[in-house]
């Protein structure tokens, strides 16, 4: 991922008001290892259910605010993140809803999906299993996971910006 500045992040948000953007907390950008990310995702420390995702889409930053469900799945249930496609305990995957961009979002229209609760898909896809006969090239696995993650994120954001029917 190409590095982003605070101004680029704030300008990229498509589904939030100007007042919310002004109050939006940012993660430590100087600590971010950009080349090991497909997107920048973080949770709001002042409002636990709010999260943010920003990534490069069609050559420019694209950002969205997300809201996690207030309840979680049972610990004994397994769940899968729809972005990184990693199976995890249900308590580590949350249903996130996202207000649609533009008038549709202001009218209350949302979309939702299950995503890693900590929004750390970029880290999770880089956890490589030991080489085996079934997966002899671990570095190729990261590339495959990365491209799949970005494809699924693009598909999700395409729904976000699609006008309401």
Q: pLDDT tens digits, residue range 38-96?
A: 999 999 999 989 999 999 999 999 999 999 998 777 778 899 999 999 998 888 999 99
With 0-12 CB in 10 A as exposed, 13-18 as middle and 19+ as buried, what is 6? exposed
Instruction: Judge whether 22 and 58 are in contact, CB under 8 Å.
Output: no
In this prediction, residue 133 carries a pLDDT of 67
Calculate what percentage of the chain has a pLDDT beyond 90: 72
d(CA 159, CA 96): 14
- pTM for this predicted structure: 0.91
Residue 104 confidence class, pLDDT cut points 50, 70, 90:
confident
Structure token digits, residue 57: 């889409």
Of the candidates 54, 76, 60, 59, the residue with the CA atom closest to the CA atom of residue 153: 54
**Chain mean pLDDT for the chain:** 91
Instruction: Judge whether 121 and 102 are in contact, CB under 8 Å.
Output: no
- pLDDT tops 90 at residue 10: yes
d(CA 34, CA 56): 12
Residue 136 confidence class, pLDDT cut points 50, 70, 90:
low
Q: Is 161 helix (H, G, I), strand (E, B) or coil?
A: helix
d(CA 41, CA 39): 6
Among positive and negative, which fits the CA dihedral 78, 63, 103, 69? positive
Give the tens place of pLDDT for each residue, 115-126: 999 999 999 999
In this prediction, residue 164 carries a pLDDT of 67
Region 29-39 average pLDDT:
95
């Amino acid at each position: 991922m190409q590095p982003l500045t605070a101004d680029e992040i704030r300008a990229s948000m498509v589904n939030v008001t100007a007042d919310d953007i002004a109050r939006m907390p940012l993660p430590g950008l100087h600590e971010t290892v950009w080349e090991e990310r497909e997107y920048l995702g973080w949770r709001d420390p002042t409002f636990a259910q709010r999260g943010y995702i920003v990534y490069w889409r069609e050559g420019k930053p694209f950002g969205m605010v997300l809201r996690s469900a207030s309840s979680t799945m049972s610990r004994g249930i397994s769940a899968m993140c729809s972005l990184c496609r990693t199976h995890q305990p249900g308590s580590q995957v949350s249903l996130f809803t996202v207000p649609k961009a533009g008038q549709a979002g202001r009218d209350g229209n949302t979309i939702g999906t299950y995503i890693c609760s900590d929004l750390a898909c970029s880290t999770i896809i880089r956890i490589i299993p030991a080489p085996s006969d079934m997966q002899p090239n671990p570095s190729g696995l990261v590339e495959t996971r990365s491209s799949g993650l970005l494809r699924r994120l693009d598909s999700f954001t395409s729904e976000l910006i699609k006008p309401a029917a």
